[in-house]
Amino acid sequence: MATVLITGVGRRLGFFLAHQFLGLGYQVIGQYRSERPELAELRNKGVRLIQADFSQRTQLLDFIDAVKQQCDCLEVLIHNASLFIRDDPCHSALEQAEFFDAMYAVHMLAPTLINEALYPALKQAKGNVVAMTDIYAEQPHKAFRSYCASKAGLANLVKSYASHWAPEVRVNAIEPGPMLFLDEHEQQHRDKVLAQTPLAKEGGLMPVWQSIELLINNDYLTGCSIKVDGGRSLTQW
């Protein structure tokens, strides 16, 4: 049975991807930061769940040790865990440092350490790594400076690992755009985002899954990044 590791399976995209891989017969290993009602459903379906807050160094290292014990052959690794939080202009220097440390830990350090630890398992399976970056990695949003910078670092890591690990393991990225609005997003915000999106609609999660399938199944793709954003990266916001 093929195995996939997905970080950030507690909600939204990660939760959706876990179900998609289960439907293909994969054994799914999932990381989550905090307990959520949705996780009971994943457990009932046989997903192996491991709790870890990647912003906490000890928890990250414990997570890596736990995953290494659970799989010696890994077909797919999805780096999906994310912290999408605005920079706070009221932060003190110490608070800003701690905030940036958390962004760096989740978006760059965790993927790096997980990659290094699981390379033997990925190589054994001639596996695939897919990282969720962001269209903001290339066109940063002024209110999310730390988020954008750390996602840009992840995008660079994708290229580095794609070159370093070829031809045994392929490494690619997906840059999501306005896929799925949050419940707290007001209609004015939604209208503004869609007005800045050439395809003028909310993408949903299926386009991301379709892009992951492409990256996994096309064995001549590595080091590439697919924008799944309805064309929003073509506009200025």
CA distance linking residue 141 with residue 151, whole number of Å: 12
Please report the DSSP string for 87-128 in residue order.
Answer: --TT--HHHHHHHHHHHHIIIIIHHHHHHHHHHHHHHHHT-E
By the 10 Å C-beta count (0-12 exposed, 13-18 middle, 19+ buried), 97 is classed as: exposed
Question: ∠ CA(19), CA(73), CA(118), 5° rounding?
Answer: 90
Q: What is the mean pLDDT of the chain?
A: 94
Query: What pLDDT does 184 receive?
Result: 65
When pLDDT is averaged across residues 91-113 and rounded to a whole number, the result is 96
Query: What pLDDT does 112 receive?
Result: 98
Kindly list the catalytic residues. 147
CA distance linking residue 159 with residue 93, whole number of Å: 32
Write the pLDDT tens digit of every residue in 58-69: 999 999 999 999
Lowest mean pLDDT segment, chosen from 20-24, 36-40, 90-94, 199-203? 199-203
Query: What pLDDT does 194 receive?
Result: 80
- 227, 233 in Cβ contact below 8 A? yes
CA distance linking residue 233 with residue 145, whole number of Å: 17
Write the pLDDT tens digit of every residue in 123-179: 999 999 999 999 988 888 899 999 999 999 999 999 999 999 999 999 999 999 877
CA distance linking residue 129 with residue 173, whole number of Å: 8
Write the pLDDT tens digit of every residue in 194-216: 888 888 888 889 999 999 999 99
Query: What pLDDT does 121 receive?
Result: 98
Instruction: Report residue 182's pLDDT band, with 50, 70 and 90 as the boundaries.
Output: low
